[in-house]
Structure 1
Amino acid sequence: MWTPKRFYKSALTGESSDGFTILLDGRPVKTPSGGLLAVPTRGLAQAIASEWDAQEEEIRPDTMPAQQLAVTAVDGVRANRETIIGEILAYAGTDLLCYRAAEPDDLVERQQAAWQPLLDWAEQKTGAQFLVTEGVIPVDQPPEVAAALGEVVTALDDFEIAALSSVTAATGSIVIALAMMDGRIDGAEAFAASQLDEDYQTGKWGEDDEAAARRNKLRHDILAAEKFLGLIRTSEKTTGSGERT
């Protein structure tokens, strides 16, 4: 697989009318579609610039999670917002937290203790009640569940939706992802909740290298999205005209 070589000496940040930018030897970074990569906060721009600066002889995109999520927001969500939202909301029908074990008792108890408080939180936040079932046979959630979740998701900006999409896919649960975004749980807790069944099986049977690598990747994606959210919510922002807020 071809890997691009590092072609720049410096990675700094700048400003434009669209937001904060990343400059490689003074030239702004663009997205794969050719648009300007402009982000809403200085902190996020600095984090992306640091990722570029940390590259050695070869550029490894897999070591640049903030860059990847920002590109997803600009090229992916902005151009296909309704499609991306639809993909996120589709998880409401297969949400991990709604599919429980019938046995053994200790696993049932673990799921109840870890998952039910998150469902209770989601029901309180949205006003919709989720159906919970045993086993893996799909259960149709009431229409008001998707409608209520849709109101929450559509209120997010493109960068928040990019992070939400990543965490939802990594956890298999829109409820876990929204709970993390809302501060109900942190990234480590989101990962632990999503891996409860796997942790139980690993405790009984052990874990192979492939499974461990997959879990590490999921943990990385969740924690990267958590950091990304922090950078877009707690740092200096610009308005669409470039004004600081």
Structure 2
Amino acid sequence: MSARACTRSARRLRHSFQLHTVAPQSASPVPHPSVAGPPPPPPTPDVAQPEDRVARKRKQAELLQRGLSLRPNPAKPATALQKRFWKAVSIKETPDGHQIFLDSRPVRTASKNVLTLPLNKSQLAAAIALEWDLLVTAQQALKHHYIPLTSFTSRAVDITNADLQGNQTVREDIVTMVMRYLDTDTLLCWAPEQNRHTGKAEQREEGSESLRSMQERTAQPIIAYLTTTVWPGAEIQPSLSEDSILPTPQPQVTMDIIRGWISGLQPFDLAGLERAVLATKSLLVASRLLVEWSHNFQHLRDQKPDAPRFGIEQAAEAASIEVRWQTGMWGEVEDTHDVEKEDMKRQLGSVILMVHGDAR
């Protein structure tokens, strides 16, 4: 290649790699426009907790009032479900038992059976009739939280009908379910004697009663009553040992005694026991409450007329010892602990209403 050709190639390469043809210039900043007017107000502190709570309650009340204003008017229903098709609710005593009528129509269960209560359940019948009398539309009857006692009683009626038909599946399923709670019963899960990190018992403050002491003091009278009056020969042990997180199973003899007792319960008592176990997570507390209020166990109460009463308050406290101990130390969470506590009492009250019978 000649020298002239090399020169042309070098020029061509130099021009092909040239990126800029204009000399660089420095940027000129654009001034920000000035805003006329006073400066913004200084930040204010958050609303105090009591005032914030009052404001939230007022807002909830406004929303509730707005919801009530949107409730359909029974006098001008838009659809058939928004209309109350009955005018009066009545209770009729039939040879089979108490039945609740909406005008001339009997209330039925989800399985299309007529809701029939034993003749000694007049208080329960009155409570169910009141539920239906307070309904505004027929659509509300499709929601269980509007008619909780009706749904609860339907469970007992279905158990009764299954027993009459010789179908033991429903009863056996309930027995199997509630027996699972025994090994991890709330009343039997006690705190360790000492905290493994501090070497001391769990106490709110120095010199106060420990959590385990509260649990033992609450559980022992209930266990003693059940093992001497209801389940003679049964031996109930705490569920948790000091060096294990796995529950300790109860002796097989105890399991057989309790299972046989549950299997022989009357339908309304069995439904009440199921509801109480689900509410308290304790088979022992539920059984103690059932024996205390069911008319079928009046003979057991007559054996110990001086025994202390065991009602809603006692059952709720026995089922929530650790929660009460923790909230006593750290305080309650609003709209959580207080709501759960009252809801448990509501469910236990429905159990008493279910199993209690009139003296005849």
Question: Equivalent residue of 1:9, what SS?
Answer: coil
Letter of the 1:224 counterpart: S
Which region of structure 1 is more displaced relative to structure 2, 161-170 or 13-22? 13-22
* Deviation digits for residues 202-224 of structure 1 (CA, Å, limit 9, x no counterpart): 11112222333233222211112
CA shift, 1:162, in A, is 0.7
1:193 aligns with 2:318: yes
AA in 2 matched with 1:100: W
- Which digits, 9 at most, give the CA deviation of each residue in 1:10-67, with x for residues without a partner? 1111244432211011111111111111111351222211221122344453243321
Q: 1:180 aligns with which of 264, 282, 289?
A: 289
SS in 2 for 1:168: helix
CA RMSD of aligned residues (A): 2.2
Residue in structure 1 matched with residue 202 of structure 2 by the alignment = 104
Partner of 1:52: 132
Shift of 1:178: 0.9
In the other structure, the counterpart of 1:242 is none
For the pair shown, the structure with the greater C-alpha radius of gyration is: 2
Q: Distance in 2 between matches of 1:24 and 1:207?
A: 43
**Superposed counterparts of 1:1-245, under 5 Å:** 5=82, 6-41=84-119, 42-43=121-122, 44-57=124-137, 58-59=140-141, 61-75=144-158, 78-79=161-162, 80-102=170-192, 103-104=201-202, 106-124=210-228, 125-126=230-231, 127-132=233-238, 133-134=240-241, 136-183=245-292, 185-208=310-333, 209-230=335-356, 233-234=357-358
- More displaced stretch, 10-19 vs 215-224: 10-19
% identical aligned pairs: 28
1:132-186 Cα distance to aligned partner (Å, 9 max, x none): 1346521111111221112222222111111110001111111111111111511
Farther-moved stretch of structure 1 (134-143 vs 56-65): 56-65
Deviates more, 1:31-40 or 1:179-188: 179-188
CA drift of 1:93 comes to: 1.7
What do residues 42-99 of structure 1 show as CA deviations (whole Å, max 9, x unaligned)?
Answer: 5122221122112234445324332122111123575411111221222222211221
Number of equivalences = 232
138-147 or 12-21, which moves further after superposition? 12-21
Gaps (5+ residues) in structure 1?
Answer: 237-245
Partner amino acid, structure 2, of 1:128: A
Q: Do 2:241 and 2:248's aligned partners in 1 also have CA atoms closer than 8 Å?
A: no
Q: Secondary structure at the match of 2:250?
A: coil
For structure 2, the 5+ residue unaligned runs are 1-71, 73-80, 163-169, 193-200, 204-209, 293-308
Higher relative contact order (CA 8 A, sep 6+): 1
CA contact (8 A) 1:92 1:145 kept: no
Aligned 8 A contact 1:73 1:158 in 2: yes
Q: SS at 2:272's partner residue? A: helix
Give the equivalent residue in structure 1 for 2:12. Answer: none
Q: Which residue of 2 aligns with 1:241?
A: none
Q: Which runs of 4+ in 1 moved over 6 A?
A: none
TM-score, structure 2 as length reference: 0.60
SS of 2:92's partner is strand
C-alpha separation between the residues in 2 aligned to 1:61 and 1:53?
15
| Cα distance, 1:235–1:35 mapped onto 2, change above 3 Å | farther
Is contact 1:11–1:52 with CA below 8 Å preserved after alignment?
A: yes
